[in-house]
A and B are shown apart, each in its own frame.
Chain A
Amino acid sequence: MRRYFFNRHEWFLVGVLAALSIAITWVNPSFLSFENITDLLKSFTVLGIFSLGMFMVIVSGGFDISFTAIAQAAQYTVVALLVFRWQSAGYIWVAIVLAVLFGLILGCLNGVVIHFFKIPPIMVTIATQNLYYGIMYVVTRGDLIHDLPAYYRNFSYARIIEFHKPDGTPYGLTWVTFLWIVLGIVVALFLKYTRLGRSVFAVGGNRISAERIGFNIFLTTLFVYGAMGAIAGFAAIVDVSIAGSVIPNSIVGKELQIIAAVILGGAAITGGKGSIQGTFLGVLLFAVLSNSLTLLKIPSYYYKVFTGLVILIAVAGNALQLKRQEGKKVRVQVDQIPSGQA
């Protein structure tokens, strides 16, 4: 069984996406327009970027709840510094570099605690989420930052492919979406073509074997949580440039949705399995779901009802399939014709 671009689960997601898209287009033809699709992608870019880091964490057999708090703290700290203190350093890339570094440090801290104290990652990251988020809130007192310099907004408005509507309003594929996709490809290549990347799958598949064969487990752990932090930092800046202001509670609370997207994309919560393609499809499914509710004029309250249903159906379907396979397993190759006496 060679690895093809999509595996069975991913083809299933593609099918669901196609079916949903056809159904929605039937009702509202504007769904499949280039404008709607690029808008949709843009609004799910932040979630998509987060999902790349979460994907690596889950494949390594880990778990992270704190990354939204890291993003929130990185966003606030960096933007506040750049707006109130270091106005002269006002470039988007400075913000990105600082936020990525900030996230990297906090993420590595998670990795160190998880590795050296042998505490389940879910416990450690719940604690650090409280810690990071609490400290940030205490420092900021929950104040919003409005009136951001123009370079934030410009970053999210910049388009790599741009068209104009008859009335002159531009639309098209934004740079931030493009960067999300590029980052996804980079992560996929990294996981496949580097030793560290291979170790993520190895550790997630069988930790003890990975250790015996000579992988440095600490390095792998540090890498996945550090990368999660760094990616969270990047996502935080993309988020602020799309939102146009810093709201101290805009990201925290979304962590479980991002985890859900990754799981929906076929990554096994037990580690070792999953693909970037699947993760993209998982995010897309959420995007299409939310957009279809809008286009079908269903109140936004129902979004979570459907999200919950999709998660439940996906995991239950997967579990049922596993159960069926288990039942069919051949334990003993039974002789067809009785030999000897019975």
Chain B
Amino acid sequence: MTFLELKGIRKSFDGVHALKGVDFTVEEGEVHGLVGENGSGKSTLMKIIAGVYTPDEGQIRLDGRLVTDNSPFFSSVSGISVIYQDLSLFPNLTVVENIYMGKVVSDPGKFVNPNKYIQTAIDALNGLGVAINPYDLVEMLPIAKQQLIAIARALTNKTRLLILDEPTTALTRKEILQLFGILGRLKEKGISFIFISHKLDEVLEICDRVTVLRDGGLVGAEAAKNLAVGDLEAMMLGKSLTFERKTSSSAKPDEALRLERLTKKNNFADVSLTVKMGEIVGLSGLLGSGRTELALALFGIAPADSGKIFVNGRESRIESVDDAMARGIAYVPEDRLLQGLVMDHAIGDNIVLATQDDYLKKSRLIDRKAMQSMSERWIRDLGIKTDSSRKSARVLSGGNQQKVVVAKWLAMNPAILILDSPTVGIDVGAKSALYETIRESAGKGMAILMISDEMPELLSNCDRIYVMRNGRMIREFDAQKITEADLRGALEMSGSTSFRGVGV
């Protein structure tokens, strides 16, 4: 039976069409995937279902009945709950308090009897079959458990449709499997899910049907069992993205970076690797493998405890970002919004931020004019789409923002460039432009260490690929001699207890 039906939904903001007549249905007890590139209209559609936005045109039906006046309140009493990517929990409160907080709002009466709710909350946790101490503070728990708490909270609210926005981004593989197990059990009870994700293999793994959006329009809705990742990509992009296997290498014989048994307690242990000048080396691993922690140690943010680092053949101590930069190490961080850019300041200022020393005049004052012309040069060279270097970085698209971060580090002309998940959440055009830039830099002799878990990206760009798991380096591959399956196998080898891994 159809629980939710949307017909011909249109919505525009400031004259920009976010949704251009989209149909969408969710059956009872169905897990429905919703995929599309950034800006394809996924989140607008989600917010229309949740009653946050009102559509300009189109119909919404719940259980076949027409909904005329949707609102967050109405959708919530109709049994629709949303778990946003940030989970919307209260870090300062205990697990039970978080779970029953929804009831506190929805139940009539001005008084609250916590004791009455505690049992409901504990029951909700037990219903998920997870062991969480109900009196722990939420901020002390790992993300995976917080996610389950958010689900438990939604379930206390007689939820019939649960919308999950990118639920697996911060989870390790083991945690994802646990989550999928729980979703499966809830599905049998007749609860429906909308699963929004950019991880296409996971979408196909858990979903019954998948709806694909592109540029605010509906591309199609098909049963997951008839689809492959490639099909979905083609639908999302409107063309199939082909990754050419890498054939030539610009690697030179000299080593730019060598690590010997680098160790940091509770982060990684005995990591050894080498990167030659002009070589592009991949570093792969799932979340919680220690790949980002290793990069942070190399860049001096969270220095290693023991082991040796050789830069251009000389043993180097890296205790701070200053140390790292002085040795020519640059780092494009994982979290572009928080770590990569000063969003509200000018694009130009962001580009020159790491190289302020280059613009000192004899008077020790900085030359703003030189700064501006240099940043304009980078904007041209990398094709950053903006009409002025003075605009704030926030107005740029994700891909262009990432180009700004890369420009900031290329301006330093580093010997070693570390890129952490450089293409997550950016569109195809920007992706291939970035690859081009990376290869060009390697061609000039720069050593590149690219952290990624996207197989095609690694295979088409890298000369060699290292794989980390549970804080240790487990494999090293020659990229030209392996298949995607080999790499995937190494990544997902069922390991020992995987705990938690979130960037800084």
A–B contact with Cβ pairs below 8 Å: the answer is yes
- Given A202-B93, A205-B93 in contact, is the A334-B137 Cβ separation under 8 Å? no
Interface of B is mostly: loop
Given contacts A1-B136, A202-B93, A331-B293, is CB(A215)–CB(B270) below 8 Å? no
The digit string for B70-112, where 1 denotes a CB below 8 A from any CB of A, is 0011001000000010101111111001000110111001111
Asked whether A193 and B92 contact (CB < 8 A) given A332-B268, A335-B496, A342-B472, the answer is: no
> B residues 232-269 with Cβ under 8 Å of A?
265-269
User: For this complex, into which size category does the number of interface residues on chain B fall?
Assistant: 35 or more
Beta-carbon contacts of B291-307 to A below 8 Å, as 1s and 0s? Answer: 00100000000000000
The answer, yes or no, to whether B437 is at the interface (CB within 8 Å) is no
Which of B97, B109, B266, B469 is A329 in contact with, Cβ under 8 Å? B266
B136 nearest in chain A by CB position:
A1
A205 touches B92 (CB 8 A): yes
Interface-lining segment among A147-155, A206-214, A243-251: A206-214
Q: Chain A's nearest CB lies how many Å from the CB of B214?
A: 28
CB distance from A320 to the nearest CB of B (A): 19
Contact B88 A334 (CB under 8 A): no
Whole-angstrom CA separation of A225 from B211 in the bound complex: 48
A169 at the B interface (CB under 8 A): no
Look across to chain A and name the residue whose beta carbon is closest to the beta carbon of B153.
Answer: A213
* B269–A334 touching, CB < 8 Å: yes
State whether A1 touches B133 (Cβ < 8 A).
Answer: yes
CB nearest to A190 among chain B residues: B111
A339 an interface residue at 8 Å Cβ cutoff?
Answer: yes
> Do residues B288 and A332 form an inter-chain contact, with CB atoms below 8 A?
yes
* B474 with A339: CB separation less than 8 A: yes
In the complex, which of the residues A3, A192, A195, A332 contacts B266, with contact meaning CB atoms closer than 8 Å? A332
Which residues of B from 105 to 159 have beta carbons under 8 Å from A? 105-106, 109-114, 133, 135-137
In the complex, residue of chain A having the shortest beta-carbon distance to the beta carbon of B273: A342
Q: Confirm or deny: B290 has a beta carbon within 8 angstroms of a beta carbon on chain A.
A: yes
Contact of A334 among B73, B112, B268 (CB under 8 A): B268
Given A329-B266, A333-B470, A201 and B90 contact (CB-CB distance below 8 Å): yes
In the assembled complex, B272 has its CB within 8 A of some CB on chain A: yes
Q: Chain A contacts of B114 at CB under 8 A?
A: 192-193
Taking A3-B135, A214-B73 as known contacts, 6 extra A-B pairs with beta carbons closer than 8 A to each other, sorted by chain A number, are: A3-B94, A334-B471, A334-B472, A335-B495, A341-B475, A342-B472
**A residues in contact (CB < 8 Å) with B:** 1-3, 192-198, 201-202, 204-206, 208-210, 212-215, 268, 271-273, 328-335, 338-342
Can you list 12 A-B pairs, Cβ within 8 angstroms, ordered by A?
A: A3-B135, A193-B114, A195-B111, A205-B90, A272-B90, A273-B92, A331-B267, A333-B498, A333-B499, A335-B472, A339-B474, A342-B474
Which are the 4 A-B pairs with shortest beta-carbon distances? A334-B471, A333-B499, A272-B92, A205-B92
